[in-house]
Amino acid sequence: MEQIFKHLSSTYAQKVLCSELMLADVAGHWKVSTSRTRVEAQQRALTWTQFKDKVMEKYFPKALRDQKEIEFLQHKTREKMKLEDYERKFEQLSRYAPHLVDTQAKKARRFELGLHLEIGGILASHQFTTYSRLLLAAQAISNRLEIDQTPQQGAEPSRKRKWNGSNKEKGEGQNKKANFG
């Protein structure tokens, strides 16, 4: 909701009023019941910050926010997880810990920390200052790794010959030049 208001030059009172009008269902009923407990002067004096705090307290308590922040901190790519899935979940969870991703460099570093070792290891030698550049590099590496791991059509797997001789003659004749003449 706050994103809606970033581009508007509304007063705080207008933001509160508009937000309250947007509340539906259970949140709408909650708003009506809390509004009844305040006189009109209190209603007009309600600041945007107070309104946000009350909504957050009611529908997104501190314990749940802390739990989501921990989930974000522990988010890593799992076995067989595609980079796109990791990125999507990273973006979803990052909103619960905005202080950890409030600059491009911090966001890039946090994203890098959760990558598979093969991708993260390659990227660690670079100092990415923007999330978008890190993401492009990670995608390029991920794509290359997928290509390298996909068997090529028409290519036969390597077939090495294995020693099938008896153990009692083990070592005899090995590393000797063959005499064909």
Query: How many domains are contained in the chain?
Result: 2
**CA gap 12, 98 in Å, rounded:** 23
Query: Could you list the residue range(s) of the whole structural domain that residue 52 is in?
Result: 2-59
Is there a single domain that holds both residue 71 and residue 137? yes
DSSP label at residue 53: H
- Please identify, among 24, 40, 59, the residue that sits at the C-terminal boundary of a domain: 59
Is there a single domain that holds both residue 44 and residue 87? no
> Strand ranges (DSSP E) for the chain?
none
**CA gap 120, 113 in Å, rounded:** 7
**CA gap 100, 72 in Å, rounded:** 10
pTM exceeds cut of 0.85:
no
Is there a single domain that holds both residue 83 and residue 122? yes
Is there a single domain that holds both residue 110 and residue 134? yes
**Model pLDDT for residues 123-177, shown as the tens digit of each residue:** 988 889 999 999 999 999 999 988 877 776 655 555 555 556 655 555 555 555 5
pLDDT at 61 over 70: yes
Is there a single domain that holds both residue 50 and residue 71? no
Is there a single domain that holds both residue 32 and residue 87? no
